[in-house]
Amino acid sequence: MGEFHIRSLTHAQGEIQYVTHPRLWGHGLGTAIGRQLLHIGFHQHGMHRIYATCDPRNAASAAVLNKLGMTHEGHLRHTMELRDGWRDSAIFSILATEWRTNTSS
Ligand SMILES: CC(C)(COP(=O)(O)OP(=O)(O)OC[C@H]1O[C@@H](n2cnc3c(N)ncnc32)[C@H](O)[C@@H]1OP(=O)(O)O)[C@@H](O)C(=O)NCCC(=O)NCCS
């Protein structure tokens, strides 16, 4: 399942989040959900930039975001406090122009 959030209407900024059942990992479902969420964000809501964050240790999520054509922008420090301490987030984004180029080829 996935969620698309409008984070700023003024600046046309959105965020995607997704999760798939472990039994289904590695079959392309996460990428398909992400692609559909980006389609919704750019085509239905007119976003200019859509971003996603993930745990920097989450290689599968980073692989999905790369496959979606998103660019790794960097690390946000100490965004979440978990049981084993503070965790950073990797942040990725894609612009509407990049999405249009990727989907038209
Ligand atoms: C991230 C997640 C959604 C991926 O779902 P999925 O259905 O397995 O995604 P896909 O099959 O489309 O792609 C997974 C990719 O990760 C790669 N991958 C998996 N484990 C990996 C690892 N340890 N190192 C590097 N790549 C890895 C797979 O090879 C695949 O890439 P490929 O198609 O190029 O081979 C799923 O693992 C999940 O729900 N995780 C928990 C929640 C989460 O992290 N959500 C993302 C935060 S927004």
Q: pLDDT tens digits for 29-40?
A: 999 999 999 999
User: Residue 15's closest CA among 61, 67, 50?
Assistant: 50
- Residue 61 DSSP symbol: H
Q: Which atom of ligand 1 is nearest to the CA of 32?
A: 12
Q: Enter the tokens of residue 105.
A: 């080829």
* pTM attached to this predicted model: 0.94
Q: What is the pLDDT of residue 63?
A: 97
Asked whether the predicted pLDDT for residue 62 surpasses 70, the reply is yes
Find how far residue 97's CA is from the centre of its chain.
Answer: 16
Which tens digits make up the pLDDT trace of 7-16? 999 999 999 9
User: Distance (Å, rounded) from C-alpha 52 to C-alpha 76?
Assistant: 12
Q: Where are the domains of the chain?
A: 2-103
Asked whether the predicted pLDDT for residue 105 surpasses 80, the reply is no
Report helix, strand or coil for 29.
Answer: helix
Beta strand spans in 9-70 (E): 13-18, 49-54
Q: 2-103 — its CATH code?
A: 3.40.630.30
Pocket of ligand 1 (CB under 6 A): 17-20, 24-31, 52, 54, 58-61, 63-64, 67
Which strand (E) or helix (H) includes residue 27? none
